[in-house]
Amino acid sequence: MSAAAHRPQLTSARRDLTFDVTATDEHGARSTVAIAGEQPLTLYVDRREIVTLMTLGQAPEALALGFLRNQRLVRSLDEIASVQVDWEVGAVAVITRGGAADYSARTATRTVTTGCGQGSVFGSLMDEIDAIRLPDSARLSRGGLYALLDAVRRRETIYKQAGAVHGCALVRCTDGDTDGAAAGAQVLYYVEDVGRHNAVDAIAGLMWLDRVDGADKVFYTTGRLTSEMVIKCAQMGVPILVSRSGLTEMGYRIARQVGLTMIGRAANTRYLLFTGEQRMRP
């Protein structure tokens, strides 16, 4: 193998993300309303059907890769030869370098439990969570958090046009310094999807492709902090998770277990810090 980092062959498949339909309001007036795209995308690995994802379609190749990464069906990007999306047939074909036999052996015991949270594979992920300890060196200042919230608020989104999608972002927050520089936030990726798990998976795929490490980043989501969201954030090695929405019992428990800093109900200059207080500074 060459020393250069391997990158799979990828399509760059595009489709419309919003569609205009006609609706009638409470006064009987008819108008044109934009709605969010949603299309089935069936994932095949070495020609074996794995799952059908309902997706907005903003980043389908990254979604396929991130799904395989977060489900632990593929351990390294080096195993992937190509990812080809064809919207005409609603399919994404992933070809591994190891080939079908290798892949089938690994997934043989997994299919039955697929569907957690009516979400995704769960049982073995909880075992894996026991091994995760997030890096403790990352810090987030209040100014950095406010810069993040401002950056995502200003963004032009499908949500603003059409609603019915969730957004996720990977963000690098920087503190202000004593010389008077303001705190800042650089949004590295912002992906929206009809399913919030798809949006986080697509970001996992983009991080893989760009070899981006999560240890000094902040993950932002418009969605709720349920168990799966917290598990995926921890799997991606991102130590700080921020949401506009609330959280659940299992989300809270898992965040404490893995040492994640979890901030909920965050908008403008308000937030609630639930876990991992040691990473937050004034």
Binding site for a copy of itself (CB under 8 A): 19, 21, 23-26, 28, 33, 35-40, 42, 48-54, 67, 111-123, 126, 142, 162-164, 194-195, 197-198, 201, 224-228, 245-252, 264-265, 269-274, 277, 280, 282
Rounded Cα–Cα distance for residues 210 and 61 (Å): 13
| Residue 104 and residue 54 in contact, taking contact as beta carbons nearer than 8 Å | no
Q: What is the separation, in whole angstroms, between the first and last Cα of the chain?
A: 47
Pick 54 or 215: Cβ nearer a copy of itself: 54
Residue 240 sits at φ, ψ, to 5 deg, of -130, 125
CA 184 – CA 145 distance, rounded (Å): 8
Smaller CB distance to a copy of itself: residue 113 or 186? 113
Q: Nearer Cβ to a copy of itself, position 9 or 52? A: 52
To the nearest whole angstrom, how small is the minimum distance from the Cβ of residue 241 to a copy of itself?
Answer: 14
What is the rounded distance in angstroms from the CA atom of residue 221 to the CA atom of residue 197? 10
Q: Are 11 and 61 in contact (CB under 8 A)?
A: yes
Q: Closest approach of Cβ 215 to a copy of itself, in Å?
A: 23
Residue closer to a copy of itself by CB (options 9, 124) is: 124
Q: Which residues pair with 270 in a beta bridge?
A: 267
Instruction: Output 42 or 78, the one with its CB closest to a copy of itself.
Output: 42
Closest CB to a copy of itself among residues 5, 105: 105
Least separation in angstroms between residue 21's CB and a copy of itself is: 6
Dihedral, 268, 274, 275, 276 alpha carbons, nearest 10: 30
- Min dist CB 127 to a copy of itself, Å, is 13
> Minimum distance from CB of 281 to a copy of itself (Å)?
11
- Residue 183 has a CB neighbour count (10 Å cut-off) of 18
Residue 269 DSSP class: T
Minimum distance from CB of 247 to a copy of itself (Å)?
6
Q: What DSSP state is assigned to residue 120?
A: B
